[in-house]
């Protein structure tokens, strides 16, 4: 089998190729479809990029299972390796040309976060981590901020697909707003997690996310010296829907 750094580098190449597809998208021909939940869309490009990744990742690590957002993937949860992929995290941003969307690729090994890549083609920023080896952005080491909450920025997601959580999300955001410098809402969980990892913000929360939203970003935060749990403070599982809280120490 290839060594881990070779696998990582090949995944980064694949993520960047998919990022180019996002940049070159025909904005007049998105093929937008609704999914379950408020403002939950899928475009032809989500599906195209997921298909690309399914092929490319199978070439990189043939023994790995593949769990992607845009189809009902039936996987062997006991497999040694499982790719957990969001082809476009921030699809509404992508549709609106808001430039806060990314390709997110996590690799689970024996039930634990093992490798993560998040690529934002609009800023040409690629975040990556291997378990136990630190976190990087475009090859340079990154670390969480050392600022406390009073001098920090809080990021949050409003769980838009689960409208029953909207009020609680904004109430919690208001609580944090009173304790920090300011709050932000980007529309991409993966990029928010990378913002925590790179010290651009101090805390991020969302009351429910799917595994592909945080598979890569959670590892990148942890390897940058941060802490990732559920909002309740419990262990963040790899393959289950969950609330997420990421912060510096």
Q: Is the pLDDT of residue 127 over 90?
A: yes
Q: Is the pLDDT of residue 40 over 70?
A: no
Q: Which of 114, 142, 170 is the last residue of a domain?
A: 142
Q: How far is CA 59 from CA 14, 32, 33, 96, 192, in A?
A: 11, 29, 30, 33, 29
For residue 162, the domain's CATH number is 3.40.190.80
Whether residues 108 and 163 share a domain: the answer is no
Whether residues 56 and 24 share a domain: the answer is yes
155-169 pLDDT, tens digit each = 999 988 888 999 999
179-238 pLDDT, tens digit each = 999 999 999 999 999 999 999 999 999 999 999 999 999 999 999 999 999 999 999 999
Whether residues 60 and 172 share a domain: the answer is no
Q: Is the pLDDT of residue 43 over 60?
A: yes
Residue 160 is predicted with a pLDDT of 82
Whether residues 121 and 10 share a domain: the answer is yes
Whether residues 172 and 126 share a domain: the answer is no
Whether residues 16 and 88 share a domain: the answer is yes
Residue 36 is predicted with a pLDDT of 55
Q: Which of 99, 123, 142 is the last residue of a domain?
A: 142
* Phi, psi (deg, nearest 5) at residue 171: -65, -40
110-123 pLDDT, tens digit each = 999 999 999 999 99
Q: What percent of the chain has pLDDT over 90?
A: 88
The pLDDT-based confidence of 35 (bands split at 50, 70, 90) is low
3-state secondary structure the chain: CCCHHHHHHHHHHHHHHHHHHHHCCCCCCCCCEECCCCCCEECHHHHHHHHHHHHHHHHHCCCCEEEECCCCCCCCCCCCEEEEEEEEECHHHHHCCCCCCEEEEEEEECCEEEEEEEEECCCCEEEEEECCCCEEECCEEECCCCCCHHHCEEEECCCCCCHHHHHHHHHHHHHHHCCCCEEECCCCHHHHHHHHHCCCCCEEEEEEECHHHHHHHHHHHHHCCCEEECCCCCCCCCCCCEEEEEECC
d(CA 165, CA 143): 31
Whether residues 86 and 126 share a domain: the answer is yes
Residue 38 is predicted with a pLDDT of 55
Per the structure, the count of domains in the chain is 2
Parent domain of 128? 4-142
Give me the chain's average pLDDT, please. 94
Residue 37 is predicted with a pLDDT of 54
Whether residues 23 and 55 share a domain: the answer is yes
Whether residues 230 and 107 share a domain: the answer is no
Phi-psi region of 37 (alpha: psi -120 to 50; beta: other; left: phi over 0): left
Residue 189 is predicted with a pLDDT of 98
Q: Which of 142, 172, 187 is the last residue of a domain?
A: 142
Whether residues 34 and 119 share a domain: the answer is yes
Residue 30 is predicted with a pLDDT of 80
Whether residues 184 and 238 share a domain: the answer is yes
Model confidence, pTM: 0.95
Whether residues 238 and 119 share a domain: the answer is no
For residue 78, the domain's CATH number is 3.30.540.10
79-103 pLDDT, tens digit each = 999 999 999 999 999 999 999 999 9
Residue 221 is predicted with a pLDDT of 99
């Amino acid at each position: 089998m290839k060594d881990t750094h070779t696998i990582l580098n090949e995944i980064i190449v694949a993520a960047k190729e998919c990022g180019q597809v996002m940049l070159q998208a025909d904005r007049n021909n998105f093929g937008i479809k609704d999914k379950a939940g408020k403002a939950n869309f899928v475009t032809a490009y989500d599906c195209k990029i997921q298909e690309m990744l399914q092929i490319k990742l199978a070439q990189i690590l043939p023994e790995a299972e593949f769990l992607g957002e845009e189809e009902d993937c039936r996987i062997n949860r006991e497999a040694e390796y499982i790719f957990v992929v969001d082809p476009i995290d921030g699809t509404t941003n992508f549709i609106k040309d808001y430039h806060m969307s990314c390709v997110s690729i996590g690799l689970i090994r024996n039930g634990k976060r093992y490798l993560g890549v998040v690529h934002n083609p609009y800023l040409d920023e690629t975040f990556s981590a291997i378990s136990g080896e630190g976190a990087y952005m475009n090859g340079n080491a990154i670390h969480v901020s050392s600022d406390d909450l009073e001098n920090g920025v809080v990021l949050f997601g409003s769980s838009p697909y689960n409208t029953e959580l909207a009020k609680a999300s904004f109430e919690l955001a208001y609580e944090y707003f009173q304790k920090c410098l300011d709050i932000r809402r980007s529309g991409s969980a993966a990029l928010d997690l990378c913002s925590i990892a790179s010290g651009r913000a101090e805390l991020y929360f969302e009351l429910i996310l799917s595994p592909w939203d945080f598979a890569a970003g959670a590892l990148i935060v942890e390897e940058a010296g941060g802490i990732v749990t559920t909002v309740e403070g419990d262990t963040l599982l790899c393959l289950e829907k969950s609330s997420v809280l990421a912060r510096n120490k």
